[in-house]
Amino acid sequence: MKQRAIRHLDTGLSVLGHGCWPLGGSAYWGPREQADTDRIIARAIELGVNFFDTAEAYNDGASEVSLARALAGRRHEVLIGSKVQPGNAEEGRTRASLEASLRRLETDYIDVYMLHWPLTAMWNGPRGEEARRRTAAGELRTLEEVCTELENARQEGLIRTWGVSNFGIEQLRELDALGFTPSVNQVAYSLVTRGAEIDVMPWCREHGIRIISYMSLMQGLFSDRLKRIEDLPPQRRRTRQYASGSGNDLVTHGGPGAEDEVYVVLGTLRELAGELGVTMAQLAIAWSMQNEVVASTLVGASSLAQIEANAAAADLVIPAAAMERLDCASKPVLDAIGPNIDYFQSAATSRSR
């Protein structure tokens, strides 16, 4: 499988990364048997997947524990990404969080360690204003202090490289002004989450920062089995593509959504997948991979058949005419919901700016 390099690592990330949020089981994704996880991850490695992405927040650490069990005896074959919660970082618990993740992962180092979301002080809205006051009063860590802790951990060998997640263009510029360049920025990127293309991806490309993309299948939206948007569980229909006031109390962004535009994307994706002899999911994954600034496209799998299908997408070359049709079909979604890359919040309350 193709790999793409990132700073400080002598091995590139596989273009398909394995998203490990469901590991360990949760109310959000449902139960997950360890034996199934063991088989799926072993098969992923056989297929060339070398990047496995988890976080301390995923199922209260159970994801990291489950991943460690699945990688028993094979840690040296893979690259692990994990993340610290912004609340832990700003409260001065970055080192403690890192050490706890190392214990759960049963490893001496993490390959790519990321700040999961921007610090509260960097958010828009009242929470950000209050956090900025507390930071100025010395009650919370500054971004400079947190990045210094991450860089110190890299120098000690506890992590091999560090990055950020969900950082918008202003936040990336703040990092640059402080003299820090993360290796990666992990952001949502798919046919219906293209906001990062406006400012974030050009900045990252110019400054040598790789993108790790998540939500590439929009939590099941691009499944061939889906007939209606409403067939997705409510917790997977919380983003700005879906209208507030539609009967789903979990949608809190307050916007009108873009469901008509999303249906056009689904129709085009289904039609092109049929023409190319692939699944909708494979075509959606391959579309993300075509962007060279994306080092790894994260996709989960709950069966051997799924991981094998996902891996096949890494070999799919989308014809230029098909790429143009997908881009044209999905552009109205971008126009409708805008460049804000925090798809769970409005522009006024966005954690990414």
Instruction: Report residue 13: phi and psi, to 5°.
Output: -80, 135
Q: Is residue 255 part of a domain?
A: no
pLDDT digits (tens, 9 = 90+) for 138-150: 999 999 999 999 9
- Residue 302 sits in a domain whose CATH number is 3.20.20.100
- Does residue 292 lie within any of the structural domains? yes
Structure letter (DSSP) for residue 157: T
Contact 20, 63 (CB under 8 A): yes
Q: What is the pLDDT of residue 191?
A: 98
Q: Which two tokens stand for residue 161?
A: 């490289």
Question: What are the tens digits of pLDDT across the range 106-119?
Answer: 999 999 999 999 99
Q: Mean pLDDT, to the nearest integer, of 278-307?
A: 97
Residue 42 belongs to a domain: yes
Residue 346 lies in a domain: no
Domain range for 190 is 3-220+282-316
55: left (phi over 0), alpha (psi -120 to 50) or beta: beta
pLDDT, tens digit, 9 for 90 and up, residues 49-88: 999 999 999 999 999 999 999 999 999 999 999 999 999 9
Q: Which H or E element spans position 247? A: none
Residue 336 lies in a domain: no
State the total domains in the chain.
1
> Which pTM does this prediction carry?
0.96
Residue 183 — φ and ψ, nearest 5°? -75, -35
**What CA dihedral angle connects 50, 51, 55 and 60, to 10 degrees?**
-40
User: What is the mean predicted confidence (pLDDT) over 150-172?
Assistant: 98
Those residues whose C-beta lies under 8 Å from the C-beta of residue 162, and which sit 6 or more positions away, are 112, 113, 114, 115, 150, 151, 153, 154, 182, 183
Kindly tell me if the per-residue pLDDT of 230 is higher than 90.
no
| Interior/surface letters 116-133, b for 16+ CB within 10 angstroms, e for the rest | bbbbbbbbbeeebeebbe
Strand partners, 110: 159
What gap in Å lies between CA 201 and CA 23, rounded to an integer? 29
Mean predicted confidence (pLDDT) in 124-131: 93
Is residue 129 pLDDT above 80, yes or no?
A: yes
Domain annotation covers residue 97: yes
Q: Please report whether residue 251 resides in a domain.
A: no
Task: At 213, give phi and psi (nearest 5°).
Answer: -95, 140
Residue 77 in domain:
yes
